[in-house]
Chain A
Amino acid sequence: MSMTQKLNSTIRSVEDCGLHPNYKNDFDLNNNFSDQTVYGTPIDIEGNEYQKKESVDKFADIYTKFDNHIQVGSIRGHLKGIVYRPHSYKIHDFWEDIFDRQNPLDLFNQTISKSKYILELEKGWDDADAPRIEPLLFNTACKCISNYIESIYKEKFFVIQSPEIAPVADGSLDFSWQLDNARMLINFRSFNEEVFAYFYGDLKDNKIPIKGNVPAKEVFEHLMKWMQYLK
């Protein structure tokens, strides 16, 4: 069997594990362990870089597929499998209860709805000379916070508190959390049509402070991890 065939076979096995709770695992446990092509990337003594890269990509692909099925297929299958046992009379999909029926953004969407008045503020809304808040800034900032809320939910299965949203006299936008155990302020500003988030947060008594700035268009793990304190 060629290397590619072996890998394809492995991929199928991994997919089977994920997709079927009964584990139709046809992985050959009697493999010859001396056959290095199955249990590791072969050493390319000919120096064929293309083949080396291809084999690495294949392995990466396997892990990705496996990871996806672990997250979606097999867990759901097992959750269902538990309640399908004979002593259980009620067929119930816990997966739906835990994941499908809860929208992690429900709370934050309500906050956004209440804050849409900000888009209607006209120049001088603070009785001084504050500029209006640009819709692009408002939308980008709300999307950014939504992304962080979703990322935290995917990782920890809880929803963080919703922030207070407030316009600032310089045309920027504040999202603030002032909780019993933690506080954070994220200020969104535009530079050359790109929105940046300037943030500061700490726990009670100034412990575990975090400070810095990041582009608003993607989720940064260090900030996402810290924001988990805003539970």
Chain B
Amino acid sequence: MDVKLNGEFSDNCVLIRNSHKQYIKNAKPLPAAFSPDGGMSTDWDKYTTPEESLARIGLTTKINGELKNTDFFNLFGLKVGDIKMIEGVNSIDFTPIFHNPQIYGKPNNPSHSDVHYVDVELRLKFSEIAFPINVDRSAVSLIISQS
């Protein structure tokens, strides 16, 4: 079954997925890193750099109101072409988040995209096609401090 694309995603586009350290083993993401919450949230590389993506995490609040620590997160990439090869992915939707005025703890995200799927097997497969993305963490700190 073809994956429904709501956005002009080419096969070479990369969706950036952030992963908490709890989900990383030997520098690789475990299947648990790709758990969907409605859809699996990612950032489309067409509209963001990895540094901006990680900085948005640092500008997001936890349930206790504190800002998240970016040191606890790594970024992984998923090529759209690889995702489309996996049977069971329903759709990839470009769903940017924009609030005016911006809400503290919930930064606007012009690159937000959701991958919709249901089954356990897809998490296993995503964990195998994901590749690590290097991030300049000093640039991330700079973006956070300027926001």
Contacts and interface: CB of A to CB of B under 8 A. Distances in A.
Nearest to A209: B121
A185 B31 contact: yes
Nearest to B68: A127
Nearest to A213: B120
Given A129-B63, A178-B127, A199 B23 contact: no
B37 interface: yes
Interface stretch (A38-46, A149-157, A162-170): A162-170
B25 interface: yes
Nearest to B32: A166
Contacts of B25: 164, 166
B62 A168 contact: no
A174 B63 contact: no
Nearest to A183: B124
A95 interface: no
A55 interface: no
Contacts of A209: 121
Interface stretch (A7-15, A27-35, A72-80, A118-126): A118-126
A68 B25 CA distance: 44
Interface of B: 20, 22-23, 25, 30-32, 35, 37, 62-64, 68-69, 72-73, 119-121, 123-124, 127-128
5 contacts: A128-B20, A129-B63, A164-B25, A185-B31, A185-B120
